[in-house]
Amino acid sequence: MSWIEITSAAPVLNTPNFSYVFGGDSGTSIPLDAFGHPQHFEFVALKKMRFKVVEEIGSYILQIQWPTYGNQPLYIDRRFCSPISRDSFPAPKKLSVHSILQHMETRVGTPYVWGGNWALGIPEMLLYYPPKKPLDSRMQTLWTFQGLDCSGLLFEATQGLTPRNTSHLLHVGRSLKTQEPLQPLDMIIYPGHVLFVRNETTIIESKSPFGVRICPLTQRMEEISAQRTLILDVNCTKLCNPFFTIRRLNLSFFS
């Protein structure tokens, strides 16, 4: 089984039918789910990431495998990658909590895009999968992945060191103990969304439909607490529903 390395930021989908995802029935649409999110977007593979190739499909599409993401089939356009002969991975870079939050802050105002974790976008998509007619601004943002979702904000800032989705972030690091003071980069998280503590008074998040924003910590905690119950251990057998929790990332990843 061969391996590939990403040469420039690349969309990863849950279907091999890229031509339909970027065009839909009209040639200018992207299939959306009931919440208005692109139903076939998974994430953006960042430059230098490596994947195992499962199968070649047609001229351009590869089915790939990324065990840390799960076992579901994933697909990528081979024009964004190159073959490599071995599966060794470079040592991860050391990042500071300060530098991660500083990067997040540069993204304030970036649109929310489900599956987005590369704020600069992928303009090549307009060349490889050209729409039949000019796109409106929102559709062009989706077409080129020029935005960030909630966990994508962290994934981009850590250069792919952290898990990609909230379902995985719920189980990394550790839950904070009762009354334990919050620290920068602590995650306020529940299924489907994650916010990051910025300092003693604010959080930063990417939330639909607002995009990346900074909000008062107290305000967001009150909003969440009004709808959800705080729990300490997401691995307990009796989870209240709905819930939220607060977790601290393993700082060994960061210097």
Q: Identify the pLDDT of residue 254.
A: 61
Closest by CA position to 78, among listed 23, 131, 16: 16
In sequence order, the 6+-apart residues with CB closer than 8 A to the CB of 103 are: 156, 157
Distances (CA, A) of 146 to 4, 28, 70, 232: 24, 17, 25, 35
206 within 8 A of 153, measured Cβ to Cβ: yes
pLDDT digits (tens, 9 = 90+) for 143-158: 999 999 999 999 999 9
* pLDDT on residue 6: 97
| Full-model pTM | 0.94
DSSP letter for 47, please: T
pLDDT at 130 exceeding the cut of 60: yes
CB 135 within 8 A of CB 211: no
For residue 93, what pLDDT is reported?
74
Tell me the pLDDT tens digit for each residue of 49-93.
999 999 999 999 999 999 889 888 999 999 999 999 876 666 667
Domain boundaries, the chain: 3-84, 97-150, 168-253
- What average pLDDT does the segment 210-219 reach? 98
- Taking residues 205-234, report their average pLDDT: 95
Closest CA to 55 of 79, 74, 80: 74
Which among 112, 110, 140, 111 has a CA at the least distance from the CA of 126?
Answer: 140
Percent of the chain having pLDDT more than 70? 94
Q: Which residues pair with 214 in a beta bridge?
A: 204
Q: How does pLDDT run across 4-53, given as a tens digit for each residue? A: 999 999 999 999 999 999 998 899 999 999 999 999 999 999 999 999 99
**CATH assignment of 3-84?**
2.30.30
Edge-to-edge strands, sheet with 50-57: 41-45, 10-13, 74-77, 61-65, 50-57, 3-6, 81-84
Give the whole-angstrom CA distance, residue 154 versus residue 187.
10
Instruction: Report the range out of 1-10, 92-101, 136-145, 173-182 with the highest average pLDDT.
Output: 136-145
